[in-house]
Amino acid sequence: MSTKFKRLLALLIFISTVGPSASTTTASRAIPPGKQKLDAALKARATRLTGRSRVIIQTAPGASANSVSALIQVAGGASGRALPLIGARVAELPNVALSALAEHPLVAQVSEDRTIVGAMERTAATVGATVVHSELGYDGTGVGVAVIDSGVAPAHDDLGGNGVPRIDRFVDLVNGRQDAYDDYGHGTHVAGIIAGNGYDSGGARAGIAPGASLTVLKVLDEVGHGRISDVIAAFDYVVANKDALNIRVVNVSVATGVYESYLTDPLTVAAQRVVEAGIVVVAAAGNNGRDPSGLVRHGGVTAPGNAPWVLTVGASSHMGTVDRNDDTIASFSSRGPTAIDYAAKPDVVAPGVGIESLSDPDSTLYTTHAQYLLDGTVPTGYRPYLSMSGTSMAAPVVAGTVALMIQANPGLTPNEVKAIIQYTAQVRSWYDPLTRGGGFLNAEGAVRLAQYLRDPSSEVYPDSTGWSKRIIWGNQMIRGGRLSADASAWATDVAWGALETPGGQSVEWGNRCNNWQCDSIGGPWRWGNAFALNVVWGPTCDGADCDGPWTGNVWDTSDEGDTVVWGTTDEGDTVVWGTAEEDTVVWGTSCSDADCEPVIWNGK
């Protein structure tokens, strides 16, 4: 680093001692103890004497926007968009300046502004949404859903063919255009899964919540690429406008890799701010379920779906039928646990194979995926539908279901929504929890339970033998009770997976049960009163008593007897994941002093 640059940084130490200005952000935060201030990718680049990097700088508590901008300027960088939701600013900096900037007291965290990519006839019937429409009368009317994607085709008949436009607002964070458009086509497909009304197909290809209103935020360009700073800016817009547009759900079918803990990643931190504002964030799990040779791969869940406060969706296949009994997990669907934090994910799976939704004739996908275009049942100037697969398609199935749930019970919080979806999901025992999460989405059951929890005294608990009757709270699988409307776990200031509330009380989910008979007005269902299995690292033990086999470093953690996660070496530094049916899996290193080598478990 040049002497001139060192002197300029020393000068800025003076800036950090000046009291905060009127422009001080309230969202800035201190870095969690023990965490590096420079993420792994930037740490490697910081050794280079040439080149520049686009970064997101999260400011320390009390730092003013003016002083951080001055710091960027002195470092030879250029300031970009402010991200007030997380107290951060985008900047482009010389690589040689990264280390010194990260060490500055004005800075809490420096992360790469990573790139992101865009990760119906039988779908609604398979998950039970058609029953919700016809028998329960819910279609998402009055509920706002934000779609963070590549835009939308506003002229598509299915987004306004009955005279009721679905799009409340369009925000272009890529090119700054005012009128709605979608030059890639991914966002239009997602929007149709959520709220298309099926006009061009006689209703056959209607979305999950055809009455919902959409706020569309464009973050992907014409080839499906973008930056996480654009997603964070979209989150910021959603929070700022949630009341005016009644936004209760955000769908994020875009993703990036996991390069740091969800506690520090600016994308996942921003998602937490959205959830704390009372908005459900639904994200695709990613399409990394197989390695290049076709073997099952664990640990491929993408961000922001790796965060516990996000409702993360893997993909299933309805196999071309409306019968749930033949549904399977899509081979591409990402499996947990998550990289770096080893969190249990996904939260649920939903149909994501061969999903028929809206096309945009002016988009890239209309040309590159021409073989998957479909005709409607009314005359149109182009083929109005497109069949696509991916967790990007599964996520909006869940987002639409959430809109139905909130229409049935507007008082639901994000944690309560996730718990209901998992509790009512349908489990197939041959899939482990890190593949299927809570189970296969059951929209009908979720809406019925949401409706009941709105006024528990007026109805009979809508129990069903087909429900999983369990939730995955953090890395613990909890079962043996019924969810209750007033449980402390549903508060917006309680992070999913927390053991205690901010006030220090034990987290509660509902009412305890004895021999599967539940007293709806009984005592709290707490840790210890419910049956809990640790989904990731092993069973819950009480003294010498353990619920489930535990042999050496191999922990069978599924109540169905499937091996979910293989543990660590005696040194505690090796993580090897796999199941008994899989071939060789390498997911860590064994280190002795300074020497490290891969650890292999052959699955035999």
Looking at residue 530, what is its pLDDT? 59
Lowest average pLDDT, out of 96-100, 459-463, 505-509, 599-603, goes to: 599-603
pLDDT band for 3, please (50, 70, 90 cuts): low
Compute the distance between CA of residue 191 and CA of residue 207 in angstroms, rounded to an integer.
8
pTM, rounded to two decimals? 0.83
Q: Determine the CATH number of domain 3-113.
A: 3.30.70.80
Residue 327 scores a pLDDT above 80: no
With contact defined as beta carbons under 8 Å apart, do 90 and 78 qualify? no
Compute the distance between CA of residue 126 and CA of residue 436 in angstroms, rounded to an integer.
16
Compute the distance between CA of residue 453 and CA of residue 55 in angstroms, rounded to an integer.
44
Top-confidence residue, 31 or 270: 270
Domain residue spans of the chain: 3-113, 117-458, 470-534, 538-601
Looking at residue 471, what is its pLDDT? 92
Q: Determine the CATH number of domain 117-458.
A: 3.40.50.200
> Could you tell me which residues are beta bridge partners of residue 192?
none
**Residues in the chain, total:** 604
Q: Strand, coil or helix: what is 435?
A: helix
Highest mean pLDDT among 352-356, 394-398, 573-577: 394-398
* Residue 516: how many other CB atoms lie within 10 Å: 10
Top-confidence residue, 270 or 164: 270
| Mean pLDDT score of the chain | 81
Q: How many helices (H) and strands (E) does the chain have?
A: 15, 33
Lowest average pLDDT, out of 32-36, 325-329, 500-504, goes to: 32-36
The share of the chain scoring above pLDDT 90, in percent, equals 55
> Could you tell me which residues are beta bridge partners of residue 252?
148, 283
Looking at residue 594, what is its pLDDT? 39
Looking at residue 520, what is its pLDDT? 42
Q: Strand, coil or helix: what is 204?
A: coil
In sequence order, what DSSP letters do the residues of 309-378 get, joined into one string? TSEEEEEEE-TTSS-GGG-EE-TTS-BSSPTTT-----SEEEE-SSEEEE--TTSHHHHHTGGGEE--SS
Residue 583 scores a pLDDT above 90: no
pLDDT band for 66, please (50, 70, 90 cuts): confident
For residue 47, what are its two tokens? Answer: 């050794």
With contact defined as beta carbons under 8 Å apart, do 401 and 446 qualify? yes
Top-confidence residue, 480 or 526: 480
Domains 3-113 and 117-458 share a fold: no
User: Which contiguous run of DSSP H or E holds residue 142?
Assistant: none
The share of the chain scoring above pLDDT 70, in percent, equals 76
DSSP 290: B
Compute the distance between CA of residue 453 and CA of residue 451 in angstroms, rounded to an integer.
6
Residue 437 scores a pLDDT above 50: yes
Residues 6+ apart with CB under 8 A from 354: 317, 320, 387, 388, 389
Pairing type for strands 348-351 and 311-317 reads parallel
Amino acid at site 383: R
pLDDT band for 31, please (50, 70, 90 cuts): low
With contact defined as beta carbons under 8 Å apart, do 382 and 185 qualify? no
Residue 495 scores a pLDDT above 90: yes
Looking at residue 308, what is its pLDDT? 97
pLDDT in tens, 497-549: 998 899 988 888 887 655 555 554 334 555 445 566 677 655 444 433 444 32
Top-confidence residue, 595 or 143: 143
With contact defined as beta carbons under 8 Å apart, do 200 and 377 qualify? yes
Top-confidence residue, 479 or 310: 310
Looking at residue 32, what is its pLDDT? 54
In sequence order, what DSSP letters do the residues of 71-108 get, joined into one string? HHHHTT-EEEEEEGGGTEEEEEEEGGGHHHHHHSTTEE
Q: Which residues are catalytic?
A: 149, 186, 392
Residue 432 scores a pLDDT above 70: yes
Compute the distance between CA of residue 140 and CA of residue 276 in angstroms, rounded to an integer.
22
Residue 343 backbone dihedrals phi, psi, to 5 degrees? -90, 150
pLDDT in tens, 208-244: 999 999 999 999 999 999 999 999 999 999 999 999 9
**Can you tell me the mean pLDDT for 454-462?**
83
Burial class (CB in 10 A: 0-12, 13-18, 19+), 515: exposed
